[in-house]
């Protein structure tokens, strides 16, 4: 039965999609992984995965609005790694898209995957509500800067609402610091503040921080996970450490 995880932040530019893509890519070395792209504004993870737009291509919006089977919208990326893509029509997801429809769609493929990873748009919309309502876990990527904390605060409020209304069993695996620069006064202060927010929502900051690296921009343009694109890089080592920590946190959840 798949572990369903939503990667979410209400601030853009945190590298949320890059984290989701690289973590999912690495997980697929040993596990079956499905990405679901809920970011209709940019469809970044669809681009990262190398999905080329096709008029006949089914997306998550076809599943939600046209009752198409989720299995018909799945595109294979590589061994053990699939994606349900998005196009800009997904940006119009609203309350007509029922939680029950998405849950039923997930249930139809859940036994085929070990992990199902949702990538959502930064701006809080109905897609956030839908994804979190059907997820087991959430991960909050953030930058080590003050503005990123605003997104964390917004997410914290959203998570509280979800847990009180539609998904009381939702757990936050942690806040993941991305594009980290070590040993700066600002980054240390932000991490302390992030720790305070994490405590409020019953989680913690990941021990591993993904370091700032040029290769983290290069690999997604090449449609390849960082652990294959530059396996000896610090960034690849950081992603490996994060995945181990995710697996440990799920085991202990």
d(CA 148, CA 146) in angstroms, rounded, equals 5
Task: Provide the token pair at 241.
Answer: 């450490």
Residue 214 clears pLDDT 70, i.e. is over it: yes
Q: CA dist 161 to 36, 155, 157, Å?
A: 22, 10, 6
Going from N- to C-terminal start, the domains of the chain cover 3-252
Q: CA dist 144 to 20, 43, 167, 207, Å?
A: 18, 25, 29, 14
Q: Which pLDDT score, from 0 to 100, does residue 124 have?
A: 61
Q: Which pLDDT score, from 0 to 100, does residue 54 have?
A: 79
Residues 165, 167, 173, 175, CA torsion sign? negative
C-beta separation of 227 from 25 below 8 A: yes
Better pLDDT: 196 or 90:
196
Overall average pLDDT of the 139-148 stretch: 79
d(CA 9, CA 241) in angstroms, rounded, equals 21
Question: Considering the entire predicted model, what is its pTM?
Answer: 0.92
Kindly report the CA angle at 182 between 244 and 156, in degrees rounded to 5? 65
What percent of the chain clears pLDDT 90, i.e. is strictly above it? Answer: 53
Place of tokens 């690849």: 236
Q: How confident is the model at residue 147 (pLDDT cuts 50, 70, 90)?
A: low
Residues 199, 202, 238, 74, CA torsion sign? negative
The CATH code for residues 3-252 is 3.40.50.300
Place of tokens 């998904």: 167
What percent of the chain clears pLDDT 70, i.e. is strictly above it? Answer: 86
Q: What is the pLDDT of residues 39-94, one digit of tens each?
A: 766 568 988 999 987 778 899 989 988 889 999 999 999 999 999 998 765 555 55
């Amino acid at each position: 039965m798949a572990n369903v995880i939503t990667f979410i932040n209400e601030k853009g530019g945190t590298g949320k999609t890059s984290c989701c893509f690289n973590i999912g890519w690495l997980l697929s070395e040993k596990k079956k992984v499905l990405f679901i792209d809920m970011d209709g504004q940019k469809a970044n993870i669809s681009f990262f995965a190398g999905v080329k737009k096709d008029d006949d291509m089914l997306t998550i919006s076809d599943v939600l609005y046209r009752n198409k089977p989720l299995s018909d919208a799945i595109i294979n990326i590589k061994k053990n790694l699939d994606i349900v893509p998005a196009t800009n029509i997904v940006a119009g997801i609203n309350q007509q898209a029922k939680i029950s429809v998405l849950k039923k769609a997930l249930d139809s493929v859940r036994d085929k995957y070990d992990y199902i990873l949702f990538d959502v748009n930064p701006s809080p919309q109905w897609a956030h509500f839908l994804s979190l309502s059907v997820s087991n876990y959430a991960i909050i990527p953030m930058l080590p800067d003050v503005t990123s904390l605003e997104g964390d605060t917004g997410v914290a409020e959203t998570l509280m609402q979800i847990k009180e209304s539609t998904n009381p069993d939702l757990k936050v695996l942690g806040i993941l610091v991305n594009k980290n620069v070590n040993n700066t006064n600002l980054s240390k202060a932000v991490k302390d503040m992030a720790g305070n927010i994490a405590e409020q929502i019953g989680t913690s900051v990941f021990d591993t921080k993904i370091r700032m690296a040029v290769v983290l921009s290069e690999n997604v343009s090449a449609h390849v996970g960082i652990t294959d694109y530059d396996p000896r890089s610090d960034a690849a080592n950081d992603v490996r450490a994060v995945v181990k920590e995710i697996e440990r946190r799920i085991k202990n959840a």
